């Protein structure tokens, strides 16, 4: 099995599990998974979020996911309880497929980390 096939297999497993748990079996897309990770990292549980909050949650997720890759570093939690990250190095110019592959790999690593710390 190639590296790409292994990543796809792990990705499909995560999507299936999250879709079953959070979407009544409908298939979640990558943005939905980023949103769920953002909610997890915020740590306040499910609640109503504004459109701007939803975008910020997805940003939190991306920062958290790319932190182990050296792109971001956790900075602090503000007075409202929202985490903030500092950009350590510029993200490389990647084609959309490469960006997607990077985020999927980071999501796989994230779930591996939180399930088996």
- Note the residue count of the chain: 117
Give 1's pLDDT tier (boundaries 50, 70, 90).
confident
Give 59's pLDDT tier (boundaries 50, 70, 90).
very high
Crossing angle of the two packed helices 96-115 and 3-22, in degrees rounded to 10: 70
Residue 116 confidence (pLDDT) above 70: no
Q: Can you list the positions of beta strands (E) in 1-117?
A: 72-77, 83-87
Q: Is 87 left (phi over 0), alpha (psi -120 to 50) or beta?
A: beta
Give 24's pLDDT tier (boundaries 50, 70, 90).
confident
Mean pLDDT value across the chain = 93
Give 62's pLDDT tier (boundaries 50, 70, 90).
very high
Of all residues in the chain, the percent with pLDDT exceeding 90 is: 79
Residue 117 confidence (pLDDT) above 80: no
């Amino acid at each position: 099995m190639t590296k790409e096939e292994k990543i796809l297999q792990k990705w499909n497993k995560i999507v299936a599990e999250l879709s079953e748990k959070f979407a009544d079996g409908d298939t979640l897309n990558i943005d939905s998974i980023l949103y769920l990770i953002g909610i997890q990292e915020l740590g306040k549980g499910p609640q109503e979020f504004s459109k701007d909050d939803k975008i910020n949650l997805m940003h939190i997720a991306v920062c958290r996911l790319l932190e182990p890759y050296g792109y971001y570093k956790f900075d602090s939690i503000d007075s409202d309880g929202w985490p903030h990250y500092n950009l350590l190095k510029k993200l490389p110019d990647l084609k959309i497929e490469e960006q997607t592959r990077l985020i999927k790999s980071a999501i796989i690593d994230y779930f591996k980390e939180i399930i088996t710390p």
